[in-house]
Copies of this chain bind each other. A is one copy, B any other.
């Protein structure tokens, strides 16, 4: 693992860079980004060693794409065109179906591994990159059988070195379930933020009344629209389905309140309380 290329030197790509630099001190980390300021910042912060351009991937042993999922659709085939035969390429996108479809017939398909590390924070850019972001996190790998044996093995070692848990899924199932446990959370949070900002526009000091509960539920509303708009676009059908169900549940809750049926309101919350055991189970 001599030459590692990170395309997109933000939170996700930058955090891979920091960990790989530590794990493989002999490696050189190259950064590629269409935001020149971010690239300079990444070098300055020591997140990457050198700036590079797409053509340079011909010397890469490993290429990581950590850019918005719409950009991945275009950049991934070009990267595969340019790499040498034993290089490994993986992405880190929150959608997998469209991305896998985009390279399904690519002659270098077997150099690519479709990856979704379930890790992140609500911050973005090179300064958001942190050591150990991936430690003890779940890493979902899709269509593993489409990747060459030796490169599967190589990639697996990388993820185990990072301390990740590996889960294998097909892209369709990934996109369907991730809509529930990630994409919907982001929309609920963005719209909660919007609702409160709209209402309290002229009463800024009202936010003095907000506690840690509010902060927790609107945390994801700080997320990057440039990252999330393409995710919602690519996972449109699944996300709309989750939104439909969420809206139906909220309307039902409202109807129970309007009908003064607070016994049923109580039961609704009691059912949702089961999330306690479920969350404990995943920790």
Q: Cβ of A218 and Cβ of B185 under 8 Å apart? A: yes
* Copies of this protein in the complex: 2
Is B246 a contact partner of A207 (Cβ separation < 8 A)? no
Mark interface residues in A264-280 (1 if CB within 8 Å of B CB, else 0).
01111111111110110
Q: Which one of B188, B197, B254 lies within 8 Å of A271 (CB-CB)? A: B197
Binary B-proximity of A231-260 (CB < 8 A = 1, otherwise 0): 011001001101111110111011001101
Report A163-200 CB contacts with B as 1/0, cut-off 8 Å.
Answer: 00101000000100110111011111111111111111
**Interface residues of A, dominant DSSP:** helix
Q: Which of A6-14, A22-30, A220-228 contacts the other chain?
A: A220-228
In the bound complex, CA of A4 to CA of B167 (Å): 54
Q: A174-B209, A191-B268, A226-B266 are in contact. List 19 more A-B contacts (CB 8 A).
A: A182-B213, A186-B213, A193-B275, A194-B249, A195-B249, A196-B275, A197-B274, A198-B245, A207-B278, A207-B279, A216-B217, A216-B220, A223-B273, A225-B266, A225-B267, A229-B265, A236-B257, A240-B254, A243-B253
Q: Which partner residue on chain B sits nearest A237 by CB separation?
A: B257
User: Which of A178, A187, A281 has most B Cβ within 10 Å?
Assistant: A187
What's the tally of chain A residues with a CB closer than 8 Å to chain B?
95
